[in-house]
Structure 1
Amino acid sequence: MFVTILFGDFSADGRMEMFNLNCKLINFIHHLKEKCGLDLKECVDLMDSSGKVMNLEAKQHSVALANSVLAERQYYVLLRVCPEDDAGGRKYVSLLNNESQSHPELTELLRKLSNKDKEPDRKIRRVRTHRSKKISTKSHHI
């Protein structure tokens, strides 16, 4: 049971590594960071081909097996998780270089993921603004 992780300059030097899923998540994530040349303190995650983020950050200390979260023989893109603000927002940055040229759909998925926490606020504000206009309009007619 294994997965393939894509990172680095995929088009030039074919950076992809295979990882065994028959281990604890805590060990899998540690080995992933080591093998990909990342600082062990960095927060990372993986995104599958459908754009789903595996949420490894929340499971980084888990002793569950990696195969309970990741599907065998799948390809995943390595992501860096950057805290964006005090409200708990995150920004996902692909560690696959030149993804905008080689995988333009990935750039759009990452943009949506990084902004998903902000979108509900915009919708709520629009609804509130719309309601307040209705209320103020009604009060003028009384």
Structure 2
Amino acid sequence: MFVTVLFGDDRMEMLNLNCKLVNFIHHLKERCGLDFKERVELMDSGGRVMNLEPLQRSGAPASSVLAARRLYVLLRVCQGNEELGGCRYVSLLNNTKSHPEFTELLKKLSNPNKETERKVRRERTQRSKNISSTVKNKKS
């Protein structure tokens, strides 16, 4: 059982899932040339972050969190402002042209506040329309 992790300029590493998660993460950082103190996550092709962070020191098998034969994108976890959602993710995949399925997902992930702002704006606009139609109906 293995997974493929994408990062850098079209680099990919195949990693074995038959190990403890703590060893998997350590080996992942080593193979990708990251400092061992860095916090990392993986994102699957559906845009879901795998939440490795709370399990960084877990003795659970890596196969209990990650699915075999899947592609994942390596992400760096950056500590952010609590008002903006705590932490944010930065893709370590530099060239998304060779993997277009990740392009839009990574944009949404790197700018979560923009997506939230759009939703809030849409809700406010909808409420305004509802209020003005209610006012018009009462006047009639």
Q: C-alpha displacement at 1:90, in angstroms?
A: 2.5
Identical amino acids, percent of aligned pairs? 69
Moved more, 33-42 or 52-61: 52-61
Q: Does 1:71 align with 2:67?
A: yes
Structure 1 equivalent of residue 24 of structure 2: 28
Shift of 1:124: 6.5
Asked if the contact 2:45–2:101 (Cα under 8 Å) also holds between the matched residues in 1, the reply is no
Which ranges in structure 2 are unaligned for 5 or more consecutive residues?
Answer: 136-140
Aligned counterparts of 2:47 and 2:122: Cα–Cα separation in 1: 28
Paired AA for residue 84 in structure 1: G
Q: 1:122 Cα deviation (Å)?
A: 7.4
Q: Does 1:49 align with 2:45?
A: yes
**Map of 1:6 onto structure 2:** 6
- Gaps in structure 1 of 5+ consecutive residues: none
User: How far apart, in 2, do the equivalents of 1:61 and 1:38 lie?
Assistant: 17
Structure 1 residue 18, shift from structure 2 partner: 1.2
Letter in 2 for 1:7: F
Q: Residues 69 and 117 from structure 1, CA distance in 2 versus in 1: closer, same or farther, beyond 3 angstroms? A: farther
Residues 1:94 and 1:120: Cα distance change in structure 2 (over 3 Å): closer
Structure 1 residue 90 corresponds to structure 2 residue 87 = yes
CA positional deviation for 1:105 = 4.3
- For residues 8 and 52 of structure 2, the distance between their equivalents in structure 1, rounded to whole angstroms, comes to 19
> What is the number of residues matched between the two proteins?
137
- Per the normalisation by structure 1, the TM-score is 0.74
Does the Cα contact within 8 Å between 1:80 and 1:94 map onto a contact in 2? yes
CA distance in 2, matches of 1:119, 1:50: 17
- Distance in 2 of aligned mates of 1:58 and 1:110: 22
Aligned-residue Cα RMSD (Å) equals 3.0
Q: Which amino acid aligns with 2:59?
A: V
Shift of 1:28: 0.6
TM-score by length of 2: 0.75
- Give 1:16's aligned residue: 12
Following TM superposition, by how much is the alpha carbon of 1:115 offset from its aligned partner in structure 2, in angstroms?
Answer: 4.2
